[in-house]
Amino acid sequence: MNPFPVIAVFAGGTSSERDVSLGSGLASACALARSFPTQFFDITSNTLPAGIDPKRHVVFSTLHGGFGEDGSMQRLLDLAGVVYAGCDAASSALTMDKTRTKQAAANRGVRIGAGVVFESKSAPTADDLVAQLGEQIVLKPNDQGSSVGLTINSSRQELAASLSGLTPGSWLAERRLIGRELSVGVLRGAAMGVVEIRPKSGVYDYASKYTKGATEYFAPAPLDAATTLLVQRASESAFAACGCRDYARVDFILVGSGELYLLEINTLPGMKETSLLPMSARCAGLDFTALARELVLPALGRFSEAVAR
Q: Report the catalytic residues.
A: 17, 146, 210, 249, 251, 264, 266, 270
- For the range 36-41, what are the long-range contacts, defined as Cβ-Cβ under 8 Å and sequence gap of 24 or more? 36/4, 36/5, 36/6, 36/7, 36/293, 36/296, 37/4, 37/5, 37/6, 37/7, 38/6, 38/7, 38/8, 38/9, 39/6, 39/7, 39/8, 39/9, 40/9, 40/11, 41/8, 41/9, 41/10, 41/11
Q: Which residues make beta-bridge pairs with 264?
A: 251
**Helix, strand, or coil here: 60?**
strand
**CA pair distance 72, 51, nearest whole angstrom:** 19
**CA pair distance 21, 14, nearest whole angstrom:** 10
Question: Cβ distance 196 to 217 under 8 Å?
Answer: yes
